Every structure is written in structure tokens, then in C-alpha cells.
Amino acid sequence: MSELMHVSGLTFRHSDQKRWLKKPEVFALGPIELTVKRGETIAIIGENRAGKSLLAKLLVGAIPADEGEIFLSNVMYNAAKKKSTKSYNSSNDIRMIFQHSSEAMNPGIPVGRILDEPLKLNTELSESERKTLIEDILVKVGLLRDHYYFYRHMLSDGQQQRVAIARAMVLQPKILVADEPFAALDPSVRSQTVNLILKLQKELGLSFIFISHNLGIVRHIADRIIVMDGGQIVETGKTETIFRWPQHEMTKKLILAYQSLVPQQTLATSE
């Protein structure tokens, strides 16, 4: 497995001064050090307000960081905002699936155009080439070619999630970042989505970084886990290691809370 992304010293500060004399509430993220290998699945877990969503947004560049560097396949991908550089470099190698995938889609345009927009903005392809590409990707995520003409409200939850994945995949990224991709989904649709992501990973060698509260799924699909607390990465490690021998207080808390829910006797009697 080769190294695909290397993050070093990524920091972000947010201070929120509401009143003149009041002490400002400062939220600082990082410095974050992180490497992502090809085909690897990384899960980010932690409590609310630990900075998980923020980290995901910083990684894809949706929010510019204050300091730090991100190397994406050995090309520097400018995450930090610097006054000297006029625009920061964009990259097609990393894409994001947002938290509420259905609300992150424009209800006024059909699925085809939703998927067309990133292609129009980022590639030089002609219209017919774009259309074949979109149809291919629709089939790949388990939809039909006809869904090109569907609007958001005509699709079910699971299908909307598939469109969200298709939109992230259409530029053929190497890394997919997802913020709570499974939280809003029903159990049967959730299993379908998990299966889809596993399939796509196997076929295309994608790296997948996701945030989840559902530790059952984390345990099932993640290779490596990052535990965050108060804007810091407090522990990283292989999934089994984290689940069996948690070191940090926060990790212990999360894992114990999860394990207290898992019924012990099912482990023995499951068929």
C-alpha cells in the first residue's frame, strides 16, 4: 500500500467573541498529523464538538485551514489560506459526501445536472462525453440510466444516498471523505450503502475516510480508527487494537459505552 495523502501540522482556530469584555470561546483544531494509504478505510470517532466534521471539511478544502500542509499523491495541495497565493489549488483526487446528503442536493435540477456540474467546472470534456460518464457512474452506484432525468424528490432515501456517492465519485477521486454517511439511513438501506461502498472500494481502490457514531459499522468496515477529543487526535490505531486495548480515556469511554450495549450472549449464540 502506497501513501496517498500526507497531512502535517494542520491547524484551525476559531474564536467567538460575543461581547466586548467576555472571554472569547476559542476552539482550536490540531495540529493534525495524518497519512492515508491507498485503499484504506479510516473512521473518525469522538463525541460531539470534538472537531470531527471540521477536520473532514479541512481535508477536502471546504474550509481553508490556518496553517499546515496537505500532500495529495505527492503534490502539495494548499489547505492553508495564505495571502501570497491568489487561489488555492484545487484537486480532483479528494471529494466529500455531506452529512445530510439529501439536503445537500439542489431540488430544482435533475440528477443528471447535479452530476454534470462538477464535471463542467473541473474537466474539459464535451457534452456527450460527460453524459456517457454520468450514465456509467449511475450504473456503477446501482441506479438506472433513466435516473439522469429524475429530480431529488422522486428518489427514495437510499437512492438519494447513491446519488450523493455518485456525485462524489464522478471526478474519479482517490479519496472519499464522508461525514456521517449512515446516520440518517434506515437499517436496510444502511446495509445496502455499506455494501455499495465496500464494492466500490474493491473495484476502484478508493481510500475512504468517514465519521460515524455507529461503532458497529466502524468495526465492520474500518481499517484504522482516529479518536478525536477537543480538536485533537488523541489516539489512532488499527480497528481491532482500538476495540480491544483502548489507551486514552476518551477511547475507553466510547468503547465501553458501545460494549455495554452489545449483548454478550448473542456473540455466543449467533448462527
Q: What are 70's three cell numbers?
A: 496537505
Residue 116: all three cell numbers together: 454534470
Give the burial class of 17: count Cβ atoms within 10 A of its Cβ; 0-12 exposed, 13-18 middle, 19 or more buried.
Answer: exposed
As measured in angstroms, the least distance from the Cβ of 56 to another protein is: 16
Is 269 among the residues that bind another protein (CB under 8 A)?
A: yes
190 binds another protein (CB under 8 A): yes
Decide: is 186 part of the binding site for another protein (CB under 8 A): yes
From the list 81, 145, 220, 244, which residue makes contact with another protein (rule: CB under 8 A)?
220
Quick check: 270 binds another protein (CB under 8 A)? yes
Separation in Å, CA 15 to CA 18, 46, 80, 228, 232: 9, 21, 17, 20, 16
Contact flag: residue 187 with another protein (CB under 8 A)? yes
Alpha-carbon gap, residue 165 to 101, rounded angstroms: 9
Q: How far apart are CA 177 and CA 167, in angstroms?
A: 12
Tell me the site size for another protein, rule CB under 8 A.
Answer: 39
Name which of 137, 136, 147 is nearest 111 in CA terms.
147
Cα Rg for the chain, rounded, in angstroms?
20
For residue 159, state whether it binds another protein (rule: CB under 8 A). yes
By CB under 8 A, residue 216 contacts another protein: yes
Is residue 14 part of the contact set for another protein (CB under 8 A)?
no
Our finding on whether 23 is near another protein (CB under 8 A) is: no
**Residue 192 binding another protein, by CB under 8 A:** yes
Q: Per CB under 8 A, does 93 bind another protein?
A: no
Q: Determine which residue in the list 16, 83, 87, 261 makes contact with another protein, applying CB under 8 A.
A: 261
Instruction: Pick the binder of another protein from 122, 156, 172, 247 (CB under 8 A).
Output: 156
Name which of residues 26 to 55 contact another protein (CB under 8 A): 46-48
- In this structure, the dihedral spanned by the alpha carbons of residues 205, 207, 213 and 214, taken in order and rounded to 10 degrees, is 10
Q: Under the criterion CB under 8 A, does residue 139 sit at the interface with another protein?
A: no
Strands 232-238, 224-229: parallel, antiparallel or unpaired by DSSP?
antiparallel
User: d(Cα 19, Cα 252) in Å, to the nearest integer?
Assistant: 38
User: Can you give the binding site for another protein, defined by CB under 8 A?
Assistant: 46-48, 156-159, 183, 186-192, 194-195, 198-199, 213, 215-217, 219-221, 239, 253-254, 257-258, 260-263, 266-267, 269-270
